[in-house]
Amino acid sequence: MKRVFIAYGTSEGQTAKIADFISDVVRQHGHDPTVLDVKGAMEASLDGYDGVIIGASVHMGKHDEHVADFARRNLDTLSRVPSAFFSVSLAAHGDLADAQGYIELFEHETGWRPDKIALFGGALMYTQYGYIKRRLMKKIAGSKPGKLGTDMSRDYVYTEWDGVKRFAEDFAAALTDEGPSL
């Protein structure tokens, strides 16, 4: 059994849901996961963990700043143990060049080169947004015809859970002696 640290940064909650899902899969594979929102755990120590997974959502073209800070603070450990990053954005649902661009910026700003990277579609939570955010997101969604929903009376979730499962399974398997490397 390996100890896996799963840290995430979220604004509206979708990245937290994905982190919890990843934690469940890692546990089902016989490992011992710890999940933390970096906002309340900036000083958390990665000592004693055999693998680290970090996730962040994208807002206004950038990944969560708390997550970038957390990665920078822990660069030493992240370069020593198997590590993976997952990025959550609407661009991951159809605008892959943009989604890839966010990753490149994040790697540049943090200096962290994860062993494995995944891009996951996020969510449009119209029913949870305030008035201005709802209007803004409808405008952005409407500028991408056919890709994103614009009915503000409902939410849209673009996360493909099968892909999240595969990502977590691959990471869990690579931590054991039998698994392929990341």
CB-wise, 48 or 60, nearer to ligand FMN? 60
**Which is nearer to ligand FMN, 26 or 88 (by Cβ)?**
88
Applying CB under 6 A, which residues contact ligand FMN? 10-15, 57-61, 88-91, 122-123, 133, 137
Least Å distance between CB 15 and ligand FMN?
Answer: 3
CB of 176 to ligand FMN, least distance (A): 29
Of 46 and 90, which has the nearer Cβ to ligand FMN?
90
Q: Cα(122)–Cα(13) distance, rounded to whole angstroms?
A: 10
> CB of 179: closest distance to ligand FMN in angstroms?
28
Kindly tell me which of 76 and 97 has the beta carbon lying closer to ligand FMN. 97
User: Smallest distance from the beta carbon of 147 to ligand FMN, in angstroms?
Assistant: 11
In a 10 Å sphere around its CB, with 0-12 CB exposed, 13-18 middle and 19+ buried, how is residue 15 labelled?
A: buried
Beta pairing, strands 3-9 & 51-59: parallel
CB 11 within 8 A of CB 59: yes
CA dist., res. 134 & res. 128, Å (int)? 8
The distance in angstroms from the start CA to the end CA of the chain is: 18
